[in-house]
Homo-oligomer: A and B are copies of this chain.
């Protein structure tokens, strides 16, 4: 074992619990932090607590938010007739970057994954169904194109279609700027399958 003073050892322990931070990186970060201005360390420490304390789930779309409903759900300029279903809050950030979509979102906070013991009741499906009144015309399912993401998409489509609401899936294919030779055969066959006339 290494001979760190206890507060340094604790700090290294705590930092190395973060994902992608091993012992060596935690050690490097800890010594950097000891070298930082005290006010900077206080800001970092406070920002951790503040984020954890102030961030809640939006009661409408389950997005992470400070205010409830979140800034998207409470924006009257957005189109409430289209709801884009995503796996998590990070996906909303990515979608919003494109500035194309003007509808609302719904965050599942996961996908159905029997292998990990995650069923429909463990993700925000109930919350999605409770939003589906007559004003909703289309549900775009934007879960990731993984086995679990596809299974979740199919599950949701089966649930929602009987309610007479259009259910669509985002397109999968070659990303813009991508080179055919670098993509796997499933992406390519999806891209061929979803081809459009020009």
Instruction: Give chain A's interface residues, CB within 8 Å of chain B.
Output: 2-8, 10-11, 13-15, 17-21, 25, 27-34, 36, 38, 40-55, 64-67, 70-71, 88-90, 92-93, 96-97
A interface: dominant SS? helix
The answer to whether B31 and A52 have CB atoms under 8 Å apart is no
What are 11 contact pairs spanning A and B, CB under 8 A?
A: A6-B66, A7-B53, A10-B50, A18-B29, A18-B32, A19-B29, A30-B51, A33-B52, A41-B48, A44-B48, A45-B49
- Shortest C-beta distance, A61 to chain B (Å), equals 13
Known pairs A41-B48, A45-B49 / 10 extra A-B pairs, C-beta < 8 Å = A3-B71, A3-B92, A3-B93, A5-B70, A7-B53, A8-B55, A14-B44, A31-B88, A31-B90, A34-B52
What number of copies of this chain does the assembly contain? Answer: 2
- Shortest C-beta distance, A73 to chain B (Å), equals 13
Our pick among B3, B40, B71 for the contact of A17 (Cβ within 8 Å) is B40
The answer to whether A28 and B34 have CB atoms under 8 Å apart is no
- What B residues does A43 contact at CB under 8 A? 14
- What B residues does A28 contact at CB under 8 A? 19-20
Residue of A11, A17, A41, A43 with highest tally of chain B CB at under 10 A: A11
- What B residues does A33 contact at CB under 8 A? 18, 48, 51-52
How far is it, in angstroms, between the C-alpha of A4 and the C-alpha of B67 when the chains are bound? 12
